A and B are shown apart, each in its own frame.
Chain A
């Protein structure tokens, strides 16, 4: 579906602007420096590039313009005719055609001059050729500038056209000038059309949207039509006639009963009959407007007769398309008054209903609906005998249904029901305070302030605030008493300690002093002496006996710790193997422990000679391990001599450098190199 939105057309620059834009872009986007001393090919390329670049830019810009403007033959005939009346189809096509030829001419110029540039043998010549090429292209554009100006105007006007969708549900309002068409559309839609007492206030089509049966309807307001033959109509009237002719819409013919518009009912009836041909296959409704000034009943007989005739015609026009029940004459003519707003909704509904019926009929008749209908099939069993076979509903279901109905009657009133009663979702807002539980129910609707005296009320609100207050007060009293107690003893003397406690205290203090002194010594000598990590504990200072001594000094039993340390050490793993197996008795745990021990042994590489084949490495004996190590070293030796990092480090040398193997000799032969 083509988007009938002409707002996306690119701006068409004037001839001079066009030239300026393209030339300045060429100047900015192509290299600018070239000297006499460059190689001739480089100079040629430089200028050829400029010419080509300018041509491609022209081509691009003109192409976008030509593509953006709609082709009058490809769009919906309504829009085609509309644009024809507004802008004159021939002029439009000519302008676009001229632009197209300009584009082709520029291409030809560029080709010719690029060909000539190939023969340029000096910078001066190439430069002049480029100047000539660009100059010619710009003259072509300048010649086209009146077309560009026209197209720009067309574009500006087109972008302000109302976006009418010719295929959707539409209501078209027509009639004499000043009968009240624009007031009507103002009332039923949000369109804000100018309403003035002079004729031809509305000079173009206006669109508004309204809703009916959950669908969007377009309402189109047209300029008034005067009763004269088609050839004499001016552009504005032709707009309404085009709309009438090409849009499949419901037609709302507005008649002014009071003659306030300046035309009698006879004249309006004459107009109706003269444009009757345009109402073929469209549902027509005659709306008699301005009933506040001249109600329908008090009309003179002749006028009533004329209106009756119109109604008959309208009914006939409408009947042509809906076959089936006879035409509903009643609905074809409705009184209304846009000033007092009575009858407006009725008119709109009648028009929408008629159009809807017609559209549904059309859809049913078309082929597309059959695809849908084919998919729906209600299977009914064939009647084969006279036995009655009503549907069977189990008793339980019936009872449940009955209970439900009763419950529905005694249902309590839901909030939703309340909402529906009071005007619906947008109108009614529920009272949230209804179910508050307060000491005094009268407080339910009170407004609670949020800030008072500069404080947040929320900070002071608490359910058990009184309880907390009591607790706080109690705490305060206790603390006050304790503080008093504290004030009396100033000094924690040793009078309160037992002799053991005093001893312990002294020991702790001594130990602390020792540790502090050690730490300080360590810190002082940290820069002078290297700190040996514990791994290389050569003096064997840190052993279990030391640990045991420390622990016993603290007063703890060291045996468990010492045993654990001993069991986790690797020394004597082997000798322990048998003990272990006897001890734990052949369950999964022992394997894990041994594995752990073995892993630990590998990290303690210092405690084991490296030639010894440890279990888990995969060697039969140490001789095999030694041999394996030797093989490994041999493999690496050669690579190291080549200074290669590994097997994958491959270096390719240039075995035949070109300068030694090629070239002619000035004199002599090239047998040897």
Chain B
């Protein structure tokens, strides 16, 4: 334990020493080019910029229609059904196997009431129900503990979305009223989407990134 500490101290020491010796180091002289700087023979060409902007908005509109959003985690690992559900044996002789228990973290709304236990096919255990998520604002770089309003989309399938299963990559809607965001029109924003960035069943908490 002390060895680790010493190692980390040594590493930081080395870094600071390297930084101090930067003064005497010599670097290649780089001709820095500013962003947007254009070579002399291209100076008169402006129109392409505006065109590019236009085509970008069109592309965005198209994507919106298609329902494709830019999210921090575009691809997630697919989760098989036998990983998601655990088979429960019921009946006098424990031979019936039609019940399933969800092994991942779920969200059920505040007005949720279970179906009669005899007819319940999917069981969402109370221990795995979460109501709050730790959401990070990507620009402000700070994390808030916000209430979950609902599960918008689970990339593994619509069945999971309707069940409220939260896995990595799920889009959830969170209550951002405490952030005090206001629309340009003057209305208070109280719900925003966030994407889950960790495996909640492994960490015991839901961490996400706000989609601004």
Contacts and interface: CB of A to CB of B under 8 A. Distances in A.
Nearest to B102: A119
A112 B204 contact: yes
A67 interface: no
Contacts of A124: 202
Interface stretch (A126-134, A179-187, A301-309, A546-554): A126-134
Nearest to B127: A115
Interface residues of B, number: 12
Contact of B128 (A20, A116, A132, A133): A116
Q: Which 5 A-B pairs have the closest CB atoms?
A: A128-B202, A132-B203, A115-B127, A116-B204, A132-B204
A46 interface: no
Interface in A373-428: none
Interface of B: 1, 86, 103, 125, 127-128, 199, 201-205
A125 B202 contact: yes
B203 A128 contact: yes
A121 B103 contact: yes
A119 B127 contact: yes
Given A128-B199, A129-B204, A132-B205, 18 more contacts: A20-B1, A24-B1, A113-B204, A115-B127, A116-B127, A116-B204, A118-B127, A119-B125, A119-B128, A121-B86, A121-B103, A124-B202, A125-B202, A128-B202, A128-B203, A129-B202, A132-B202, A132-B203
A286 B201 CA distance: 78
A113 B204 CA distance: 7
A120 to B, nearest CB: 8
Nearest to B103: A121
A125 B204 contact: no
Interface in A104-150: 112-113, 115-116, 118-119, 121, 124-125, 128-129, 132-133
Secondary structure of the A contact surface, majority rule: helix
Contacts of A133: 204
A511 B202 CA distance: 106
Contacts of B202: 124-125, 128-129, 132
The interface centre, meaning the residue of B103, B201, B202 with most chain A CB atoms within 10 A of its CB, is: B202
Contacts of A115: 127
Nearest to A126: B202
B203 A129 contact: yes
Contacts of B1: 20, 24
Contacts of B201: 119, 125
A119 B204 contact: no
A133 B203 CA distance: 8
A123 to B, nearest CB: 11
Contacts of A113: 204
8 contacts: A20-B1, A116-B128, A119-B125, A124-B202, A125-B201, A128-B199, A129-B203, A132-B202
Interface string A514-527: 00000000000000
B1 to A, nearest CB: 6
